[in-house]
């Protein structure tokens, strides 16, 4: 990214040093765009930049620079640059699909356009095919059309238009989804982008506020990855669409590296490994987004929950359990009923409304209010592995990562203003301890703050926000933690710290979150009696160290590719018999492990030992002990370690030493 600085304007046509790019001055030229300046420069390649930013707004490079405002060029190494690159490629995909259908059916009306956003890693576009059954095998043909459109180097042309005019245009084209989108936009002045291909004699238009790449020629390396079904606007009651996913990069090596990561990620897919390793299931008969923990998943959860509870008790938390349902009035008081109703399950008992709890905080407040608290009682710390339920549209559900019922490792701290910094620091240290225990060594920290330009959107006073935000910053500064401030990303009730975990192949996962709350203490009148014998509002901290256990375990499966560390493996040792005459010896070894709380299993079937070993390898069991007549006579075991193979014969004492060294 290069920075562009401006100077005070003087009469038109010549403005000396109006723009400075990477230390190089440019004379102002009336009607010149950023792209023009870059093309005139021998020091820059125009293909490295996609848009420019001015006063926190993004613009096409082709837009004229009209004044001396400071502008910043955007490239692929910025997140906003990647979003522009990928969104422009989604337009290219849509244009290619339109041309593809026109060539087959003789008219492009047999495919309707929905939406095509950039996503975290790439893009997609949703289509409705009319009287045509789209097959994933046809993706290669669409890629070929896209490649030809790239070769044409077609301009992304921005067109300003009145809402009614664009609405009329889309109605004439029969683009019903675009009609719906336009009708829901309040502004009377809209924009669309147009691309015209001479090669195919086809003009493509798409509703979009932009910005976009200057032309299709920028999209040098791309790949369409897959197709899937998706409901319009994620609503299963609406049309089923075909979603095509893709990725694109300005450099070939970037694409190659990304495809390697995708291949590695597919090997780690928790949805496949979760079933293969008997960790979890989701049954159609029960309903989507509802998780059944299978035999190994039940053990993994139990290990995590026991560890979680022990560590919380060490730190002064009180473990609580709250009901799964409560009266709707509770959620009206909290504000969730008004602002979160579409995500809540609401039903009636004896003509009174009840809610399946979508979160635990209001219920913890009720427990806090069972007595009047003095400042001497604080902080009060409640923790709960509370199962909550949220309505997620079917199209958004994804294995363990996006479900309708999940267990949250919830915690709430009620403290005085003076205790706030100390308690948040303790929570931060606790969070880092937890994630490192589960093998995450790299993580990013984000501080979400309020947008001062929209302060009416937030609960609490400006002074309280400044105090809370500065408290969080001070803690991060004190600990020497690098963090990225995210203005406008705070929730309405307070600022927060988010920790993003980096897994074994460099992907980011949502990790611990520490949130400050101005809202609920006021709504529920949550107070304490201070030294002045008057009641004051408590300061309330929400925190989740693992988040949803479902999502966390899904992430662990993928991080470890199903090969859990020894302490977390549902079966730590498999004892494999070579023949029937070693079964009693295997059982005696098992008794030793049982007494030491070591998780083991015995395979004393009549299969060949190689088949037993292969099955244990597939189940990712860390240790295998092979016992036959020789081992029994010598009172030893032949030891195999996952990933290392045979490490020789050892006595039980020698093996236990090896086991605990690896624990």
- For residues 29 and 12, is the Cβ–Cβ distance under 8 A? no
Distance of CA 61 to the CA centre of its chain: 31
Asked about 364 being catalytic, the answer comes back as no
Q: Which of 126, 178, 301, 408 is catalytic?
A: 408
Asked about 412 being catalytic, the answer comes back as yes
Asked about 390 being catalytic, the answer comes back as yes
- For residues 414 and 368, is the Cβ–Cβ distance under 8 A? yes
Bridge partners (DSSP) of residue 44 are: none
Question: Which three-class secondary structure state does DSSP give residue 534?
Answer: coil
As to burial, measured by CB atoms within 10 angstroms (0-12 exposed, 13-18 middle, 19+ buried), residue 184 is exposed
- For residues 118 and 83, is the Cβ–Cβ distance under 8 A? yes
- For residues 64 and 32, is the Cβ–Cβ distance under 8 A? yes
As to burial, measured by CB atoms within 10 angstroms (0-12 exposed, 13-18 middle, 19+ buried), residue 230 is buried
- Alpha-carbon distance of 357 to 346, in angstroms, equals 9
Q: Which of 390, 426, 551, 636 is catalytic?
A: 390
Q: Which of 82, 393, 404, 412 is catalytic?
A: 412
- Alpha-carbon distance of 30 to 12, in angstroms, equals 7
Residue whose pair of structure tokens reads 């047999």 in the numeric block: 110
∠ Cα 401 403 408 (to 5°):
80
318, 591, 640 from 621: Cα distances, Å: 36, 19, 10
Q: Which of 34, 208, 361, 415 is catalytic?
A: 361
Phi and psi for 246 in degrees, rounded to 5?
A: -155, 175
Q: Which of 496, 507, 551, 636 is catalytic?
A: 496
> Which distant-in-sequence residues (6+ apart) come within 8 Å of 133 by Cβ?
none
DSSP state of 505: T
Asked about 361 being catalytic, the answer comes back as yes
- Alpha-carbon distance of 60 to 58, in angstroms, equals 7
- For residues 132 and 101, is the Cβ–Cβ distance under 8 A? yes
Asked about 542 being catalytic, the answer comes back as yes
Which residues are designated catalytic? Answer: 361, 390, 408, 410, 412, 496, 542
């Amino acid at each position: 990214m290069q920075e562009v600085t401006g100077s005070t304007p003087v009469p038109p046509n010549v403005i000396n040093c109006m723009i400075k790019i990477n230390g190089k001055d440019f004379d102002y030229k009336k009607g010149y765009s950023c792209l023009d300046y870059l093309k005139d420069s021998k020091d820059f390649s125009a293909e490295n930049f996609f848009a420019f930013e001015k006063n926190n707004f993004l613009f096409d490079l082709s837009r004229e620079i009209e004044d001396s405002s400071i502008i910043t060029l955007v490239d692929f190494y910025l997140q906003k640059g990647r979003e522009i690159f990928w969104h422009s490629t989604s337009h290219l995909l849509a244009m290619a699909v339109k041309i593809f259908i026109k060539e087959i059916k003789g008219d492009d009306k047999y495919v309707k356009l929905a939406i095509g956003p950039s996503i975290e890693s790439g893009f997609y576009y949703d289509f409705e095919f009319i009287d045509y059954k789209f097959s994933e095998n046809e993706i290669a043909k669409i890629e070929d059309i896209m490649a030809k459109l790239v070769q044409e180097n077609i301009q992304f042309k921005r067109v300003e238009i009145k809402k009614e005019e664009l609405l009329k245009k889309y109605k004439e084209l029969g683009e019903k989804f675009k009609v719906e989108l336009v009708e829901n936009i309040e502004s009377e002045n809209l924009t669309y982008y147009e691309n015209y291909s001479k090669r195919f004699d086809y003009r493509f238009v798409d509703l979009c506020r932009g910005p976009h790449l200057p032309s299709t020629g920028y999209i040098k390396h791309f790949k369409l990855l897959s197709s899937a079904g998706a409901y319009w606007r994620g609503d299963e009651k609406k049309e089923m669409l075909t979603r095509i996913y893709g990725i694109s990069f300005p450099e070939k090596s970037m694409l190659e590296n990304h495809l390697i990561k995708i291949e590695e990620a597919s090997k780690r897919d928790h949805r496949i490994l979760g079933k293969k390793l008997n960790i979890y299931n989701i049954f159609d008969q029960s309903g989507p987004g509802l998780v059944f923990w299978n035999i190994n998943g039940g053990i993994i959860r139990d290990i995590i929950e026991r560890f979680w509870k022990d560590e919380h008790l060490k730190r002064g938390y009180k473990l609580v359990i709250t009901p799964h349902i409560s009266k709707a009035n509770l959620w009206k008081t909290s504000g969730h009923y008004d602002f979160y109703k579409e995500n809540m399950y609401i039903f009636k008992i004896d003509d009174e409304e009840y809610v399946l709890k979508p979160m635990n905080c209001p219920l913890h407040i009720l427990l806090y209010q069972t007595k009047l608290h003095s400042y001497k009682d604080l902080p009060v710390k409640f923790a709960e592995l509370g199962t909550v339920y949220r309505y997620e549209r079917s199209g958004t559900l994804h294995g363990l990562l996006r479900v309708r019922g999940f267990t949250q490792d919830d915690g709430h701290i009620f403290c005085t203003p003076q205790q706030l910094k100390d308690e948040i620091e303790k929570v931060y240290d606790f969070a880092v301890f937890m994630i490192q225990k589960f093998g995450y060594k790299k993580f990013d920290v984000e501080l979400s703050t309020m947008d001062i330009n929209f302060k009416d959107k937030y609960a609490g006073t400006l002074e309280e926000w400044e105090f809370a935000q500065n408290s969080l910053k001070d803690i991060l500064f004190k600990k020497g933690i690098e963090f990225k401030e995210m203005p406008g990303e705070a929730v309405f009730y307070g600022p927060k710290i988010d920790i993003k975990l980096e897994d074994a192949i460099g992907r980011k996962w949502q990790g611990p979150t520490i949130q400050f709350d101005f809202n609920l203490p006021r709504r529920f009148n949550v107070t304490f009696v201070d030294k002045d014998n008057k009641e004051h509002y408590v300061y309330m901290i929400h925190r989740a160290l693992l988040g949803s256990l479902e999502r966390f375990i899904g992430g662990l499966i993928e991080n470890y590719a199903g090969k859990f560390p020894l302490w977390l493996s549902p079966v730590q040792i498999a004892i494999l018999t070579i023949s029937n005459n070693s079964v009693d010896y295997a059982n005696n070894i098992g008794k030793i492990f049982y007494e030491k709380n070591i998780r083991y299993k015995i395979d004393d079937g009549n299969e060949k030992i190689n088949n037993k070993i292969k099955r244990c390898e597939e189940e990712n069991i860390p240790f295998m002990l092979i016992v036959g007549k020789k081992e029994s006579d010598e009172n030893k075991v032949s030891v195999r370690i996952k990933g290392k193979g045979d490490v020789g014969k050892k006595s039980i004492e020698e093996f236990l030493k090896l086991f605990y060294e690896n624990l």
